[in-house]
Amino acid sequence: MENNELNLPGYEIPEDVKNVVAVTTLDRLLNPVYNWGRRSSVWPLMFGLACCAIEMIAAQASRYDLARFGMEVMRPTPRQADLMIVSGTVTKKMVPAIVRLYNQMPEPKYVMAMGACASSGGPFKEGYNVVAGIDKFLPVDVYVPGCPPTPQALMNGLIMLQKKIDKEKISQVRWYRKGHDSVEIPVPILGPDLIDPRRIPDIKAAAAQPVTTPAQAGG
Amino acid sequence: MTAPASSLTIDLAARFPGAVSADVRPGYGGFIVPAEKLIEVATAIRDEFGYDLLSAVTGVDYIADNKMEVVYHAFKTTGGPAFVFKVQVPRENPVLPSVVNIWRGAEFQEREAWDLLGIKFEGHPDLRRILMWEGFEGHPLRKDWKEPFFEEEVKPFKSRWPDGKHTFAEVKNPFRDNLQFPADFDPEKVTFTDPEEALYKSLKKYHSETRDGIETDHILVNMGPQHPSTHGVFRAVVMLDGETVVSLKPVMGYLHRNHDKIGERNTFLQNMPYTDRLDYFCSMTNNFGYALAVEKLMNIQVPERADYIRVIMSELTRIQNHLIFLGMFLNDLGAMYTPALYAFEERELILDIFEEVAGARMMCNYFRFGGVARDMGEDALRKARELVFDRLPGKVDEMDRLLTENEVLVSRVKGIGYLSAEDAIRTSMTGPMLRASGVPYDIRRADPYSIYDRFDFNVACRPEGDLLARYMVRIDEMRESLKILGQALKQIPAGPIFPGKPQYQVKVPAGESYGRVESPKGELAYYVVSNGKPNPYRYHVRPSSFVNLTSLEQMCIGEKIADFVAILGGIDIVLGELDR
Ligand code: SF4
């Protein structure tokens, strides 16, 4: 946290204690301290989907050492995690599980789409079992490009997330506001193809059109 | 190198006159067996001719001939080339007997052929979908099945090349997404078949009994697809009696990324970067197998230097894979992360070399048909020499010393997850899994490819067949790899790394080919069918992790649930290759 945003203007502080003394109001203090605490202990969900997960592990390991950001505490259970790094290709078969995991994470929670696949489907976008980006289901905070993103890129993404957290105001964040409890995302259903419950009217309407698909002959 | 994937030294047609005939299509090899004779012929192939290891079972949809063809590749564990035989069935009603009772290793691959191509295997004990979910519409690998984002039969698509006016696939699809539904589909009216139901039914029945006046019952545990010990999105349904495993079913497909379908739309060369993403720890060996398969079809010779570079890259890959295996395996046993940190330290150094020669750490995309993409510079060679001669031998010893004598480790793995040599062969295990059961079968020795016949190394093999043996085989193998690397780095000649000029579009003559390599996880093979066009007609990956899971249930039954985690870790699966 920057000292100058903390200090109330108009108070002269002696040079030799400038680093340790600040004159401020509770109002000014609250947000920086709150955000600083949170941004320095973002606990990611221990959750790997595909190749990108290996670079995520590499970012945690010896050379890159994510612990420097306070982010090395991977939680295998979503109930203790703050950040879901969607590290890999999201398939239709997997997406119900991912949505369920997201729903189980307590607020405040963030989602990072790591790599081309999680951002948009990537090299596998045209595949029949691939969801073209996790943002079709979950709200994404940070996108990290690459296939796979190098550990440096992932770290840059995490720094972006920290910057985002720095801008939060305790009076405005959604998890403290009345009536804004964590939003449950409806879990997709595996039918003849993937069905997003929020889109059932669209699907019905499009399926009623005469030619529905490019070609569904045979098979 | 000759085009057909098999040898015709055995005349199956003479053994079964009138029933079996040689496959005489140009570029093809092996024999065509009528469906009703399959069991008899297959039994003879295994028992009389000695082809005890069934490597691959896959289907090809020959839509122009209105036929489905099922292709089998069998090998002898004593070595030698493949024995290929095929069964042709009509497309409308593709039914043939299952060979599961002859080679149990066919179990998952037959299920895959049913899932993706709709070929029915009669007598299969558990014919369910394996990669897609139960209830999915259609069999995607059929040539007339089109995916929702279908644009054209083959690449390069006109919308991207040469003029490149691409619109989003979502815009063209009526559902505005990667979706397709039957006409008049109404999600509110349909009741869906629960994809899980068939799965739970396939588990063994539990008979409760009364012990000490107390009625017993089973517990059903779902491990995965999100579980820290499953190495990705693998799932296993385990039925427990107390802590003991009674029945277990692996569930795959959570990372099914449709390599085969995308691969058949791609041009030959466009598939190379996709192979990187199969076993994402070992992109170099993945490249290798695919390059071999296509080179066999093209019948081209690889320059000496390129061959050496290929071997160097493959063996470095093996070492880093096995290092990570050690780290992750110990993780599974509860030594949380410390050994893995040691492993990653060395891996980073190997990845530095990959990055230097190929431009990428993990997704190297380095091999080309006929050679490699870039030369290995002096600096990269120096780094490799430093690693191989000065650093890695000591580090392998260090790992060995730190871990192997650890009493906790030994008591957790000794005698656990036993698999006999016969069972390992019957379930088509390959790689370290097979060698840890006392079968010294290593493709680098049994059916040498590239220039592996020039090097002096031992096939790491342990007879015990338990987890400790699997762990030790990997340590031995790293030492053998270092031996090969030492020789290769000393002998590597100067010269070209590619015959002629690199081409974007290669000409591949019609025919079939089966290229296989000893990847760090087992036998990784590619079955490629070309019809002379710029795109493969059939592109199939025979993944080692997938087939190696066949024996998972057998190894786990009777063990504790905590040992399941260790046994799974011991197989060394990687989901990208398992689900493709
Ligand atoms: S973006 Fe690339 S590296 Fe990451 S999961 Fe997708 S294919 Fe793998």
Here the ipTM equals 0.88
Minimal Cβ distance to A93: which of B186, B187, B254: B254
- Pairing mode, strands B371-372 and B367-368: antiparallel
Pick from A126, A190, A219: CB nearest B169: A126
pLDDT mean across residues, chain A = 85
pLDDT at A214 over 70: no
DSSP state of B389: I
Distance from CA of A36 to the nearest CA of B (A): 28
CA distance B398 to chain A (A): 17
Separation of B166 CA from ligand 1 center, angstroms? 22
Residue A211 pLDDT:
61
Each as own residue / partner, the long-range contacts of residues B221-228 (CB below 8 Å, 24 or more positions apart, any chain) are B221/B561, B223/B564, B224/B251, B224/B254, B225/A94, B225/A97, B225/B251, B225/B254, B226/A47, B226/A97, B226/A101, B227/A76, B228/A46, B228/A76
Candidates A46, A130, A190; nearest CB to B178: A130
Q: What angle do CA B563, B566, B572 make, to 5 degrees?
A: 150
CA gap B409, A31 in Å, rounded: 48
Q: Which of A51, A55, A87 to mutate to test the pocket of ligand 1 (most atoms within 8 A of CB)?
A: A51
Residue nearest to ligand 1 atom 5, measured at CA? A88
Are B102 and B159 a contacting pair, CB within 8 Å?
no
Residues with CB under 6 A from ligand 1: A 50-52, 88-89, 115-117, 122-123, 147-148; B 277
Contacts of B261 in chain A (CB under 8 A): 127-128
Instruction: Per-residue pLDDT tens, chain B, 580 aa: give them.
Output: 333 444 456 778 888 888 888 888 888 888 999 988 889 889 988 888 889 999 999 999 998 889 999 999 999 988 888 899 999 999 988 999 999 999 998 999 999 999 999 999 999 888 888 998 888 888 999 988 888 888 888 888 888 888 878 888 888 888 888 888 888 888 777 777 777 888 888 887 777 778 888 888 888 888 878 887 777 888 989 988 888 898 888 998 899 999 999 999 999 999 999 999 998 999 999 999 999 999 999 888 899 999 999 999 999 999 999 999 998 888 888 888 888 888 999 999 999 999 999 988 999 999 999 889 988 889 999 999 999 999 999 999 988 888 888 888 888 888 888 999 999 999 999 999 999 999 999 999 888 988 999 999 999 999 988 999 999 999 999 999 999 999 999 999 998 888 888 888 888 899 999 999 999 999 999 999 998 888 999 999 999 989 999 999 889 988 899 899 899 988 888 988 888 8
CB A63 within 8 A of CB A24: no
Write out pLDDT tens, residues A37-57: 888 888 888 888 888 999 998
* CB pair distance less than 8 Å for B169 and A189: no
Closest Cβ–Cβ partner in B131, B146, B345 for A62: B345
Beta-strand runs (E) in A43-200: 83-87, 110-114, 142-144, 189-190, 194-195
Interface test with chain B among A51, A52, A72, A117, by most B beta carbons within 10 Å: A51
Distance, CA B402 to ligand 1 centroid (Å)? 34
Q: What is the pLDDT of residue A34?
A: 86
**A-contacting residues of B 324-343, CB under 8 Å?**
340-342
Choose among A54, A127, A194: nearest Cβ to B280.
A54
What is the CB neighbour count within 10 angstroms for residue B38? Answer: 19
- Contact B327/B515 with Cβ under 8 angstroms? no
Q: Do residue B348 and residue A58 have CB atoms under 8 angstroms apart?
A: yes
What distance in Å separates residue B534's CA from the closest CA in chain A?
20
DSSP structural state of residue A94 = T
Nearest to B187 by CA among A189, A97, A214, A92: A189
Q: Which chain B residues have a beta carbon less than 8 Å from that of A189?
A: 187, 192
Asked if the Cβ–Cβ distance from B183 to A212 is below 8 Å, we say yes
Contacts of B347 in chain A (CB under 8 A): 58
> What's residue B4's pLDDT?
42
Residue B183, Cβ neighbours under 10 Å: how many?
Answer: 12
Cis bond before residue B162 (omega within 30° of 0) = yes
Q: Which pLDDT band holds residue A181 (cuts at 50, 70, 90)?
A: low
What is the rounded CA–CA span in Å between residue A53 and residue B477? 26
Q: Tell me, in angstroms, the distance from the centre of ligand 1 to residue A121's CA.
A: 9
Domains of chain B, CATH where assigned: 6-122 (3.30.460.80), 259-579 (1.10.645.10)
- Which atom from ligand 1 is nearest to the alpha carbon of A89? 5
**B570 touches B548 (CB < 8 A):** no
**Ligand 1 nearest-atom number relative to CA A88:** 5
How many whole angstroms separate alpha carbon B131 and alpha carbon B498?
38
Q: Which of residues 65-124 of B touch A (CB under 8 A)?
A: 118
Are A102 and A138 in contact, with CB atoms under 8 Å apart?
A: yes
Picking from A121, A126, A160, A165, the residue whose alpha carbon sits closest to that of residue A143 is A160
What residues of chain A lie within 8 A of the CB of B173, using their CB?
213-214
Contacting residues of B for A76, CB less than 8 Å apart: 227-228
Please give the number of the atom of ligand 1 that sits closest to the Cα of A51: 8
Give the Å distance between the CA of B314 and the centre of ligand 1.
21
Q: Provide the pLDDT for residue A212.
A: 46
Q: Is A214 helix (H, G, I), strand (E, B) or coil?
A: coil
Model confidence at A123: pLDDT above 60: yes
Binary contact (B178, A128; C-beta < 8 A)? yes
Shortest distance, CA B115 to any CA of chain A (angstroms): 11
